[in-house]
């Protein structure tokens, strides 16, 4: 069997390396090491690249950094995002900040899916609401979704607990709600059989709506009394303080069903002796709670 000797020169080796070199594109994540610091940023030795990349100071972190060597030690390997493609010398512009922002968006998306609350800092205001900051992302809270709707200037630099109202990563849009976060906390503190106190917020033909410090409950007309009620507005004027029992909770629809009927000792007592029923509501509730649990 004949064999043929072949030689592999240094030029051949260089050409082979070039064929396997990265064709770096914007949006690509690469690994590399810092090898030189400058006043404007750092040069990165990209693994597999034939030219170094440059990381501008402003792209080093979401936070302001004075000494880049503190967060980017020499020869420490890590990931970078290509944010500008190769120039004539084959050099690309890199970013760590953009990678960190992507993680923040992912965190927000998870928070939205799980209906989690978190804190944001108020940075400014306008006629429609306040602007806020969350890990260097700018968001907005409409006036209608704030607990304090009048003196918005007093909110600047405060931390507010919020839920996500709207999230659009492509449009870089973030809208939050302080009101929904407040309702979520209040709703989570409620339980069936609990005696609560609130104020009448509105009266409809089918029942009475009660504001429970951010959460709205409904006393259906059938749950007002064991006796037919002719005029709900007369018994429950708007702003009237009222105590009632929680008889049902629908978490998905955030619906709270209430009852004053179960506080009565006889049909129509809520009409005849409303103040007396309210004053002794705690003792009456203990008896009624056993009936709710039993049912």
DSSP labels, 228-252: --S-HHHHS-TT-EEEEEEEEEETT
Is residue 44 included in any domain, yes or no? yes
3-state SS, residue 290: helix
The DSSP call for residue 221 is G
Q: Which helix (H) or strand (E) holds 9?
A: none
Same domain, 84 and 173: no
Give the chain's domain count.
Answer: 3
- Residue 250 belongs to a domain with what CATH number? 2.40.50.140
Is residue 7 included in any domain, yes or no? no
Is residue 107 included in any domain, yes or no? no
Categorize the per-residue pLDDT at 9 as very low, low, confident or very high, splitting at 50, 70 and 90: low
Is residue 218 included in any domain, yes or no? yes
Q: What is the pLDDT of residue 179?
A: 84
Same domain, 126 and 160: yes
As given in the structure block, the two tokens for residue 39 are 């006043």
Is residue 4 included in any domain, yes or no? no
Same domain, 146 and 54: no
Same domain, 35 and 60: yes
Q: What is the pLDDT of residue 294?
A: 61
Categorize the per-residue pLDDT at 12 as very low, low, confident or very high, splitting at 50, 70 and 90: low
Is residue 256 included in any domain, yes or no? yes
Same domain, 127 and 47: no
Q: Please tell me the pTM assigned to this model.
A: 0.58
Same domain, 259 and 286: yes
Cβ count near 148 (within 10 Å): 13
Same domain, 120 and 175: yes
The domain in which residue 122 lies consists of 114-183
Same domain, 89 and 121: no
Beta bridge partners of 175: 140, 166
For 111-140, write each residue's pLDDT tens digit.
Answer: 888 778 889 999 999 989 999 999 889 999
Q: What is the pLDDT of residue 230?
A: 85
Same domain, 122 and 83: no
Among residues 139, 160, 183, the one where a domain terminates is 183
For 201-238, write each residue's pLDDT tens digit.
Answer: 899 999 999 988 768 899 999 999 999 888 899 999 99
The answer for residues whose C-beta is within 8 angstroms of residue 21's C-beta and 6 or more apart is 48, 49, 50
DSSP code per residue over the chain: ---------HHHHHHHHHHTS----TT-EEEEEEEEE-SSEEEEEETT-SS-EEEEGGGS-SS--S-HHHHS-BT-EEEEEEEE---TTS--EEESHHHHHHHHHHHHHHHHHTT--EEEEEEEEETTEEEEEETTEEEEEEGGG-S--S-GGGGTT-EEEEEEEEEETTTTEEEEEHHHHHHHHHHHT--TT-EEEEEEEEEETTEEEEEETTEEEEEEGGGT-SS--S-HHHHS-TT-EEEEEEEEEETTTTEEEEESGGG-SSTTHHHHSHHHHHHTHHHHHHHHHHHHHH-
More confident residue, 82 or 254: 82
3-state SS, residue 172: coil
Q: Give the closest residue to 80 by CA, choosing from 91, 96, 66, 93.
A: 96
Same domain, 194 and 151: no
Mean pLDDT, the chain, rounded, equals 86
Among residues 183, 212, 229, the one where a domain terminates is 183
Is residue 216 included in any domain, yes or no? yes
Among residues 40, 62, 95, the one where a domain terminates is 95
Residue count of the chain? 295
Is residue 57 included in any domain, yes or no? yes
For 24-49, write each residue's pLDDT tens digit.
Answer: 888 889 999 999 999 999 999 998 87
Residue with tokens 């002794």, as numbered in its chain: 280
pLDDT at 167 over 90: yes
């Amino acid at each position: 069997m004949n064999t043929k000797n072949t030689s592999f020169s240094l030029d051949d080796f260089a050409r082979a390396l070039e064929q396997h070199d990265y064709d770096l594109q914007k949006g690509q994540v690469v690994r590399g090491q810092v090898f030189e610091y400058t006043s404007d940023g750092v040069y990165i030795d990209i693994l597999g690249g034939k030219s170094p990349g440059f990381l501008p100071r402003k792209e080093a972190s979401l936070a302001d950094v004075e000494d880049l060597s503190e967060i980017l030690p020499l020869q420490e390997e890590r990931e970078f995002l290509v944010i500008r493609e190769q120039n004539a010398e084959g050099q690309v512009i890199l970013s760590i900040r953009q990678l960190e922002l992507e993680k923040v968006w992912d965190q927000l998306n998870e928070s939205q899916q799980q209906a989690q609350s978190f804190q944001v800092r108020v940075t400014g205001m306008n006629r429609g609401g306040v602007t806020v900051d969350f890990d260097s992302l700018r968001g907005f809270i409409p006036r209608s979704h704030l607990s304090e709707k009048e003196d918005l200037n007093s909110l600047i630099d405060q931390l507010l607990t919020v839920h996500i109202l709207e999230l659009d990563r492509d449009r870089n849009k973030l809208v939050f709600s302080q009101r929904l976060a407040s309702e979520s906390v209040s709703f989570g503190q409620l339980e069936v059989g609990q005696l609560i106190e609130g104020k009448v917020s509105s009266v409809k033909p089918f029942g009475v709506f009660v504001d429970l410090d951010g959460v709205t409950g409904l006393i259906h007309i059938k749950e007002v009394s064991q006796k037919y009620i002719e005029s709900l507005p007369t018994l429950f004027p708007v702003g009237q303080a009222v105590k009632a029992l929680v008889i049902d909770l629908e978490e998905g629809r955030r619906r709270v069903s209430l009852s004053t009927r179960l506080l009565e000792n006889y049909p129509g007592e809520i009409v005849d002796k409303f103040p007396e029923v309210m004053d002794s509501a705690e003792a009456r509730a203990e008896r009624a709670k056993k009936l709710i649990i039993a049912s």
